[in-house]
Structure 1
Amino acid sequence: MTHMFRFFDPDYLYVFFAARGLMPFDTDEKYLYHKFKTRMGYYPDLANPKTFNEKLQWLKLYDRKPEYTKMVDKYAVKEYVADKIGKQYIIPTLGVWDRFEDIDFDTLPNKFVLKCTHDSGGLVIVRDKTKLDKSKAKKKLSKSLRTNYYRFGREWPYKDVQPRIIAEKYMEDKNTEELRDYKFFVFNGVVKAMFIATDRFKKGDETKFDFFDMEYRHLPLTNGHPNSNVIPKKPETFMEMKQLASKIAENLPNARVDFYEVNGRSYFGEITFYHWSGMTPFEPQEWDRKFGDWITLPKGGGYFER
């Protein structure tokens, strides 16, 4: 549907203006109700959610605990996770700054990664510092710093994250020649499924997602991206990553805990509470309900009651 035709869609209009702070009497519940319709094709049942995507909307609204803010902050979460599983699993931080202009590039190594602490789009991979287009990097990261990530998905934990830029050690596995994501779905400490993201930075190619159960059997589904033509091999540290994910998310009703495997070692990536913001269909659709069955909603959230 083109943008021109979508302007005749009342749900799209509501979301368009509310995301920009232009809709009077907007609430998170009303916004998510209409945005879910524009993305999924039907209105969510927020009173009695059953699917994975519906339950993620419920959790956005009613499971609000102050510690979640630290857990989604890409800088602050490192201390939280190190206390849980040990600092040996943390990718080293090379620096943290409030503005791009504050970065002292002379102190950084030839290879590193820059990213913002409060969103999922501000990422600059530097493989050769001498070839870095600083103007382009500044434009991307400065735009990301100005972005209110909470406003567009109403993912409450991001609301009070301090926007900053961090530099991390450049990581790459010598066998795959890339940094593959291993993403584990954890429900009250029980890991039920995971997917591997490959071809993430392959020029001219789309990222691939391949889902597996905890016996490393490939699951017949897609969600957001197609499967790879070649099923990824089981990572060497699969069992270790599974156990670590369980420990990190032991008291959370739902979390996706991401790891990298680099040269036979596991490294923590991030904690995500709302996979795809809970607004991307599963194919076949039955998997939306299967994942949803794994979530047991808490009786009451941090500040809200059902």
Structure 2
Amino acid sequence: MNIKRYACAIGKYLSDSNYRFLMNAGFGKYNNLSDKEYLERKFECCMGKTLDLDSPQTFNEKLQWLKLYDRKSEYTVMVDKYKVREYIKNKIGEEYLIPLIGVWDNPDDIDFDALPDKFVLKCNHNSGLGMCICKDKSNLDIKKVKNELRKGLAQDYYLTGREWPYKNVPRRIIAEKYMEDATVKELRDYKIYTFNGKAKFCMINTDRGTDTRADYFDESYNWMDFTWGYPHADVKPQKPVNYEKMFQLAENLAEGTATLRVDFYEVNGQVYFGELTFFDASGFDKIIPESYDLKFGKWIQLPDKNG
């Protein structure tokens, strides 16, 4: 960070209470706040309005309500990137699982010599911190990879957005086969959004990790004109071969949930499961225009409180 940027950051920290809260939260200052207090304050910082938990209307508001009052023990298994494999096997079949190479509790236990030239390492309890996508093992800085994995294992992902299912996930490192589709020359994410068990639309991520773009399509592959964290692609992605199948599989996996995002990949014509997410962007990303936030919120029928 150069001096000018550093000075601007200090000025913003001193003058902007919302920015100050978010920065302090990142350093753990509010870890002892109750979930309700923390979510109310962070929602106001990120969304620019008061969180209504008595009568939530928008998608993002209802996600905060669900964090507090929809607490089924099986959700912890569903967000665990290791244990969810058994859940997927039982619900839709193990043919949809990316091949598992290994699982460890400690980075020092990993035998890198035994790993293939290409692989993916990641923690099972968080979203990205510590991940290693290796395309050529001969160029791998193993010491750096181990240090990043330690950072990932140390992260209490629950505290960042009070997404309680992650709180009690036993922390592990998993290695999976490196996957890439020969047609598009990348691994595109197909994220299916379900509402009370019904798949409604799909987000397609392109150029992931370099210049990530996101486009949204309904069940009939009609493009939906809104943005949510990422800009649209310059050229709309083509419909994947297994688009309808992904919607069907997502509905099987989302049975009994108020809302669930089910991620898939399509690799050389075969569908593979990615992960399950209950709280997209933790409910803190603005959906533009806001009418879509309200539209998606109407699709969620909240369950009885059980938290």
- Name the TM-score, length of structure 1 as normaliser: 0.93
1:32-47 alignment, distance < 5 Å:
32-47=39-54
1:221 alignment partner, one of 222, 226, 233: 226
Say if 2:31 and 2:159, in contact at 8 Å, map to a contact too: no
Note if 1:284 corresponds to 2:289.
yes
Deviations 1:14-59 (A, max 9, x none): 5555565544962100000000111111111111100000000000
Note if 1:294 corresponds to 2:302.
no
The unaligned stretches of length 5 or more in structure 2 are 1-7
Q: What is the deviation of 1:293?
A: 0.8
Change (3 A) 1:23 1:187: closer
Change (3 A) 1:24 1:254: closer
The unaligned stretches of length 5 or more in structure 1 are none
1:13-92 alignment, distance < 5 Å:
13-14=20-21, 16-17=23-24, 20-23=27-30, 26-92=33-99
Equivalent in the alignment of 2:236: 231
Question: C-alpha distance in 2, partners of 1:158/1:133?
Answer: 29
Q: What is the deviation of 1:11?
A: 4.8
Helix, strand or coil at the partner of 1:269? strand
- CA RMSD across the alignment: 1.6
Note if 1:274 corresponds to 2:282.
no
Q: What is the deviation of 1:91?
A: 0.6
| One-letter amino acid of the counterpart of residue 280, structure 1 | D
Equivalent in the alignment of 1:192: 200
Deviates more, 1:49-58 or 1:12-21: 12-21
Note if 1:95 corresponds to 2:102.
yes
Say if 1:255 and 1:272, in contact at 8 Å, map to a contact too: yes
Equivalent in the alignment of 2:4: none
| One-letter amino acid of the counterpart of residue 159, structure 2 | R
Helix, strand or coil at the partner of 2:66? helix
1:110-129 alignment, distance < 5 Å:
110-121=117-128, 122-129=130-137
Say if 2:219 and 2:244, in contact at 8 Å, map to a contact too: no
1:157-168 alignment, distance < 5 Å:
157-168=165-176
Equivalent in the alignment of 1:137: 145
Percent identical residues: 52
Question: C-alpha distance in 1, partners of 2:28/2:236?
Answer: 44
Question: C-alpha distance in 2, partners of 1:230/1:6?
Answer: 39
Helix, strand or coil at the partner of 1:43? coil
Equivalent in the alignment of 2:245: 240
Which aligned runs of 4 or more in structure 1 are off by greater than 3 angstroms? 1-4, 6-25
Question: C-alpha distance in 1, partners of 2:25/2:231?
Answer: 31
Say if 1:14 and 1:31, in contact at 8 Å, map to a contact too: no
Question: C-alpha distance in 1, partners of 2:31/2:235?
Answer: 50
Say if 1:150 and 1:158, in contact at 8 Å, map to a contact too: yes
Say if 1:12 and 1:34, in contact at 8 Å, map to a contact too: no
Question: C-alpha distance in 1, partners of 2:11/2:71?
Answer: 37
Deviates more, 1:114-123 or 1:215-224: 114-123
- Name the TM-score, length of structure 2 as normaliser: 0.93
Helix, strand or coil at the partner of 1:54? helix
